[in-house]
Amino acid sequence: MIERVLLSLVSISLWASLLSAQTTVLFLGNSYTAANDLPNTFRQLALSLGEEVTVSASTPGGYTLEQHATYAPSLSLIDAQPWDFVVMQEQSQLGALPVDVTNTELGATQLLAELEENYECTYPVFYMTWGRQNGDPDNCPAFPFMCTYDGMQQGLRNNYVALANWNDAYTAPVGVAWKQVRDTHPLINLYAADGSHPSVEGTYLAACVFYCTIFQESCVDAAFNSSLPPDTAAILRSIASATVLDEPETWNLDVPNGTDAFLDGFSSGPDYITLIHNGQGTHLWTCSNGQSFTTATVTFTFDTSGVYTVVHTYTDPCGNTATANLTFTIVVTVGVEEQDAGSRYQVRAGPPGIVEVHGVQGVATLNLFDAQGRMLSNERINSSEAQVPCPTGLLFWTLTDERGTRLRGKVLVH
Let me know whether 69 and 121 are in one domain.
yes
Distance CA 59, CA 32 (A): 8
Question: pLDDT-based confidence at 257, cuts 50/70/90?
Answer: low
Question: Looking at residue 337, what is its pLDDT?
Answer: 38
Q: What is the CATH number of the domain that holds 111?
A: 3.40.50.1110
- Within a domain: 250: no
Question: Looking at residue 372, what is its pLDDT?
Answer: 66
Let me know whether 316 and 341 are in one domain.
no
Let me know whether 165 and 222 are in one domain.
yes
Let me know whether 87 and 224 are in one domain.
yes
Distance CA 136, CA 227 (A): 29
Looking at residue 341, its amino acid is A
Weakest mean pLDDT among 53-62, 148-157, 301-310: 301-310
Number of domains making up the chain: 3
Average pLDDT, the chain: 88
Region of 210 (left: φ > 0; alpha: ψ -120 to 50; beta: rest) is: alpha
Let me know whether 96 and 217 are in one domain.
yes
pLDDT: which is higher, 265 or 355 = 355
Let me know whether 317 and 343 are in one domain.
no
- CA separation (Å) from 20 to 24, 57, 119, 152? 9, 20, 15, 37
Let me know whether 92 and 9 are in one domain.
no
Weakest mean pLDDT among 77-86, 215-224, 264-273, 353-362: 264-273
* pLDDT at residue 396 is higher than 50: yes
Weakest mean pLDDT among 14-28, 213-227, 249-263, 382-396: 14-28
**Domain hosting residue 312, numbered range:** 2-15+259-332
Shortest CA distance to 334 belongs to which of 357, 364, 303? Answer: 303
Average pLDDT of span 375-384:
89
Which helix (H) or strand (E) is 272 found in, with range?
Answer: strand 272-276
pLDDT digits (tens, 9 = 90+) for 51-60: 999 999 999 9
- Within a domain: 35: yes
Question: Looking at residue 263, what is its pLDDT?
Answer: 83
* pLDDT at residue 127 is higher than 60: yes
pLDDT above 70 covers a percentage of the chain that reads 90
pTM for this entry: 0.69
Average pLDDT of span 148-163:
98
pLDDT: which is higher, 285 or 362 = 285
Let me know whether 65 and 100 are in one domain.
yes
pLDDT digits (tens, 9 = 90+) for 304-351: 888 899 999 999 888 888 899 988 877 665 443 333 444 567 888 889
Q: What is the DSSP string of 139-182?
A: TTTT-GGGGSHHHHHHHHHHHHHHHHHHTT-EEE-HHHHHHHHH
Let me know whether 205 and 130 are in one domain.
yes
* pLDDT at residue 158 is higher than 80: yes
Shortest CA distance to 149 belongs to which of 131, 165, 166? Answer: 131
Question: Looking at residue 338, what is its pLDDT?
Answer: 39
Let me know whether 65 and 192 are in one domain.
yes
Question: Looking at residue 255, what is its pLDDT?
Answer: 62
Distance CA 56, CA 191 (A): 24
Average pLDDT of span 370-376:
76
Question: Looking at residue 194, what is its pLDDT?
Answer: 98
Distance CA 191, CA 193 (A): 6
Out of 184, 216, 245, pick the residue that ends a domain: 245
